[in-house]
Amino acid sequence: MSEVSLSGICSSCQREVDTNLYHGSNSDKMELCKECYDQYAAKEMLQYWKDHIAEEERRANN
């Protein structure tokens, strides 16, 4: 038995599609379709690299 119940509605685009639960930041669970998750993951990745590059620049300037 799984505790996880999916509504089958993507919480981002509100479409009734095949959804999955994904872990977001703060370990929130998000029910997203593949498409929205890809967008979310791309954004997260972009933010990660921005932070990473900013950190590198900070170090280089010290």
For 49, list phi and psi in degrees, rounded to 5: -70, -35
**Shortest Å distance, C-beta 50 to Zn ion:** 24
DSSP string, 12-48: TT--BS-EEEEE-GGG-EEEEEHHHHHHHHHHHHHHH
* Residues between 1 and 60 with contacts to Zn ion, criterion CB under 5 A: 10, 12-13, 33, 36
**Shortest Å distance, C-beta 52 to Zn ion:** 28
**Shortest Å distance, C-beta 9 to Zn ion:** 9
Residue 5 tokens read as: 């119940």
Give 12 or 22: the residue with its C-beta nearer to Zn ion: 12
